[in-house]
Structure 1
Amino acid sequence: MTEVKTLGTDYDRPASLDNPRSPRPRRGGNLEKYAWMFMRFSGIFLIVLTFGHIFIGLMVDTGVHRIDASYVAERWHQPFWRVWDLFMLWLAELHGGNGVRTVIADYSRNDRTRFWLNVLLGLSMILILVLGTYTILTFGR
C-alpha cells in the first residue's frame, strides 16, 4: 500500500490540544454559572409564589373588589403573609435585576458604559428593595 500525503498541509503533525480532563486556569470564577442556576430556581419559586398570591387573593378571598388599604393592612398583620410577600419582592427584584444585568453584558459594547449601567442597575435594585421591604414591614402600624 502506498501512503498518500497531501502537500502543503499539517496533517502529519500531532495536534497540540490539551487533555480534556486537564485542569484549566479559572477566569473570573463561576459567577455566570451561579447566576444561570439562580434564574432557573428563582423562576420556579416565583411561579409558585405569584400563582399562590393571585389564587388566594382572587379565588379564596372573594375577589378583587375587596382589595383596598385595609385589606392589605389586615393581611400583612399576619407574619405568614409578610414573609410570603417579602420572598416574592426579593426574588422578583433579584431575578429581574439578574436578567437586566445579562442584557447589559450582551448589548453594551464599551466597558465604561457597561460599568455605569451596572452601577445604575445596582442602585435602583437597592432602592426598590429597601423601600419595598420598609413598606411591607411597617404598613398599617
Structure 2
Amino acid sequence: MAAALTRGQRSSRQNFETWAWFFMRISGVILFFLALIHMYIMHIENDVTHTTVSFVARRWANPWWKLFDWWLLVLGLLHGGNGLRTIIDDYVKKPFKRSLTKALLYVVGSGLFLLGTITVLTFK
C-alpha cells in the first residue's frame, strides 16, 4: 500500500493538474488577443470575399505572419485539447473507456497539429 503523502509532498497528478489549470488561464488570455487580431485582419481590415489563396500567400510571405498563425494553431489545439481532456476526466467514469477516449483525443490532436504545421511551413 502506498504511503500517505505528507503535507509538503504533492502527487505528480496534482502537480500536472495545477500546471494544466495555469496553462488554461494563460493560453486563454493569449488566444483572446490572437483571435481578436486575426478577426480584425481577416474580417474588418479586409473583405472576406477577397480572402483568397493569393491573399494568404502575400500574407505568409512575411515569416512573422506565419509564426502568428502557427501560434494561433498551436495554442488553440492545446487549449481545446486540454479542455476536452478535463471533460473526459469528469464524465467518462470507466478507466478503459477514459483511456481509449483520451488516446483518440491525442491522436486526432496530434494529426491536426501535424497537418496544420505542414500547411504553414510548406505553403508557397
Relative to the length of structure 2, the TM-score reads 0.89
Distance 1:27 1:103 in 2: 21
- For structure 1, list consecutive stretches of 5 or more residues without a partner in the other structure: 1-21
Distance 1:127 1:40 in 2: 25
Alpha-carbon deviations, 1:15-72, whole Å to 9, x = none?
Answer: xxxxxxx725422341111101111110100010010011122333x32121011111
Tell me the SS of whatever aligns to 1:23: coil
Relative to the length of structure 1, the TM-score reads 0.79
- Give % identity: 39
1:102 equivalenced with 2:83 (yes/no) = no
The corresponding residue for 2:73 is 89
The corresponding residue for 1:79 is 63
Distance 1:86 1:25 in 2: 38
- For structure 2, list consecutive stretches of 5 or more residues without a partner in the other structure: 1-5
The corresponding residue for 1:49 is 34
The corresponding residue for 1:65 is 49
> Which has more helix, going by share of residues?
2
Tell me the SS of whatever aligns to 2:12: coil
The match for 1:125 among 86, 109, 113 is 109
Distance 2:91 2:55 in 1: 43
Number of residues of Structure 1 aligned to a counterpart in Structure 2: 118
Shift of 1:139: 1.1
Give me the CA root mean square deviation.
1.3
The corresponding residue for 1:13 is none
Distance 1:130 1:123 in 2: 10
Alpha-carbon deviations, 1:47-104, whole Å to 9, x = none?
Answer: 10010011122333x3212101111111111101000000000000000000000000
The corresponding residue for 1:14 is none
The corresponding residue for 1:113 is 97
Distance 2:107 2:42 in 1: 32
Report which of the two structures shows the higher radius of gyration computed on alpha carbons.
1
